[in-house]
Structures are given as structure tokens and as C-alpha cells.
Amino acid sequence: MLEGIKKDFPVLNQIVNDEPLVYLDNAATTQKPLKVLAAIKDYYENDNANVHRGVHTLAERATEKYEAAREKVRQFINAKSTKEVLFTRGTTTSINWVAQFAGQILKTGDEIVISIMEHHSNIVPWQEVAKKTGVILKFVYLKDGQLDMDDLRKKITNQTKFVSIAHVSNVLGTINPVEEITKIAHEHGAYMVVDGAQSTPHMAIDLQKMDVDFFAFSGHKMMGPTGIGVLYGKEELLNQFEPVEFGGEMIDFVYESHSTWTELPWKFEAGTPNIAGAIALGAAIDYIQELGIDQIHQHEIELIDYLMPKLQEIEGLKIYGPKDNVKRGGLIAFNIEGLHPHDVATALDMEGVAVRAGHHCAQPLLNYLETPATARASFYLYNTKADCDKLVEALKKTKEFFNLD
């Protein structure tokens, strides 16, 4: 069903360095299908107006489409209500909001638990809250490329107030058992926060089943535009916390002495939002739903199963992450002995293959793995086995170019 869909993505149909583009940097951002591009164009050509403010036709059409996108998100992640779906600028903003919520209730002696595999966006906000509140920030470490669940159980105590974990590691590809972690957190009275940036585009998300308290993800990693993201929060919790941004739209009434806030979800959405971004995210969700999220996930599993043995045959190539592909998302971080990953990525680019190289905004993890950087190939629904073959061929050429064979 996913064969032949590259035609829906104009950017993929180009030549880079005299080679057809093979785009394998999907963990950084994904390409946009015609349907999403059309949604952006249609909004600006036909409905460009501010939302929730005007009574004229354009304003009402824009508001209707904006709120329809929120409902699409609600259904996609199985939230109970659109009151629990907040539009943000992306995962980073979403986690920062939760960390600032936490700062409203944390006190000295409380604990926050995160893991060593987190993206900086799920580390730095908690470090800042810890500095300001005097709470203790604990890290859970790894075992065989996966979270050490024994270590996690030791780190989460009755003093733990927030646990914040990536659903899927953006470096190792590890799929973390968030349902199990959530149960452990709740047993100790802690709130569970999940960074869903690397999971939401690739696998079915059921927040009612997961029972997490907060869940964050970005539109641009699931074929939506940049600058739009989502923070899910349980309604009863969102009602307890104060907004962290202030201005138009989120107020009920402004007096000279103080202000009162409007109802959820708009209570947290100050100022003119990214209207086109939200509408286009809705279009991206439509596209995913038409293909089937389970089919997308299975497609990526098949690509990893196909590629992994071929990579393992390349002498001197080290793969990071779980050995069991079932516990891995659609990405592979690797290094070639004797080569800096930036040189590997540059050489691959000369063959038309786009991969990421660097610390992937996960320096604590790379330090833990005792490597300053890796190359990373990450896959999405438009990638094919031919793309995998091209990557392997380009890696072999890279070794030959640097006289490593």
C-alpha cells in the first residue's frame, strides 16, 4: 500500500550531487506531501484571518478549520476531550510548559526522574526547574541499549513528583515501555510525562490506554509544517496549573489590578496561534490515517529488518541501540571505525544519501556511550528497500574512498 507514494512528495523527486535523492533524516524532520502543502496554500489564499476573534466569514471559516484540526489530533492520540489538546510551537515548547507547570508545585526535597537517553529538550527544562526549586534531578541508565528497568524502579521513590521519558530514543531508536513506567510512576504518586516526538509519527498512540499525564509531539516530524506542536494534558491537571504565557486570547477578563483566564484549551494559548500550521497538521493526520498508522509502523519494521543484516556485514561498522529490532523504532545510529561521522555523512551526501551526523541533541547519552558523535539513518513511510540498498552501497563506497577496505 505504501509503494509508489514518493510521487506525493515533490522534494523527494530531485537530483542531489548527480544522484537521485535518498532522504534518510526523518528523525530530524519529515518531508511534506502535496496534501499538506495544499492545505497551507488554501488557508492563505482563501481563509486567512485570525481565529476566535472576528464574526466575519473568513474569521469564522479559519476558526472552524483550526478547531477541526484540534479534533483530528484528539482522535489521532485518543484524548478524551479537545480541552486536553493544546497547540504549541513543538515538542520543545510543550515540555518547557510542563516543566514550568511543575515549578508551580515542586518544593525542596522533591525529585524529578528522567533517563540518560533523553533529547536535550527533555533534560534542560528539568535542570532549570531543579535549579530554581531545589529539587533533585535523577537519571535512569541503560542496559543493552534499553532502559534499565531495575534502575528505574530504584530511582522512582515516594519523593518523585515528575517522571519524564522519551517514548522512542532519537539516537538509539529504543521503544520504551511507557505504560509500565507510567504504572510505576503513579504507584509512587508521580506525574508521567512522555516525549512522543519520535513515536507519534510512526506508531499508534492511545493515551487512554497509556494513562500518561502529559504527552508532547511535533507536527514537522509527521509531515506537518514546522512551528506547530501539541501538548496533551489530562483535563483535571490542566485546570490545576496556571498559564505560563500571557496575552490576548487566553483571558476571560482583564482588570486594572488582575486578570482572569478563559477555559481550556485556550487558557494556555496566548496570542495569535500558528493557524496555518494547525490546519496543515490536520491535513498530515488525514494523510496518515488514509495510509494507516499500523501499516506505516509495519513498513518501517520491514525496512529495519531488511537493512540491519546488510549493515552488520560491513566490517568496522558499529551499530548502537537494542539488538532486538522489535524493540527499535525506524532509525539506526552507527559509526565506522577510523572515520568521523561528519566525514561519513558528507561522503554519503555526495552519493545523494541524506543522513544526520553529530550528537543529535543528546550529549549526555553520547557521553554515556563514550562517543562524541554518530551518523544516523532514520526512515519514514516513503522510504523503500531500494533506499536501504543505496545506503549500503554508499557506505561501502565511503570506506573505499577513505582506503578502509
Looking at residue 53, which CATH number applies to its domain?
3.40.640.10
Same domain, 273 and 324: no
Res. 1: pLDDT tops 60: no
Using pLDDT thresholds of 50, 70 and 90, give the confidence band for residue 405.
Answer: low
Out of 361, 365, 381, 394, which one is annotated catalytic?
361
Same domain, 84 and 27: no
Q: What percent of the chain has pLDDT over 90?
A: 94
Same domain, 53 and 195: yes
Q: Is 370 exposed, middle or buried (0-12, 13-18, 19+ CB in 10 A)?
A: exposed
Res. 296: pLDDT tops 70: yes
Boundary-marking domain end, from 235, 260, 289? 289
Boundary-marking domain end, from 289, 318, 333? 289
Q: pLDDT, tens digit, for every residue of 139-194?
A: 999 999 999 999 999 999 999 999 999 999 999 999 999 999 999 999 999 999 99
What residues make up the domain containing 193? 36-289
pLDDT (average), residues 374-387: 98
Same domain, 131 and 165: yes
Same domain, 214 and 67: yes
CATH number of the domain where residue 359 is located: 3.90.1150.10
Same domain, 24 and 147: no
What's the pLDDT score for residue 372? 96
Question: Is residue 361 annotated as part of the catalytic site, yes or no?
Answer: yes
Same domain, 305 and 397: yes
Same domain, 176 and 73: yes
Same domain, 326 and 260: no
Q: Number of folded domains in the chain?
A: 2
pLDDT (average), residues 115-124: 99
Question: Model pTM greater than 0.95?
Answer: yes
Res. 249: pLDDT tops 90: no
Boundary-marking domain end, from 239, 259, 289? 289
Same domain, 354 and 230: no
Same domain, 203 and 232: yes
Across the chain, mean pLDDT equals 97
pLDDT (average), residues 212-239: 99
Using pLDDT thresholds of 50, 70 and 90, give the confidence band for residue 4.
Answer: confident
Same domain, 255 and 312: no
What's the pLDDT score for residue 342? 98
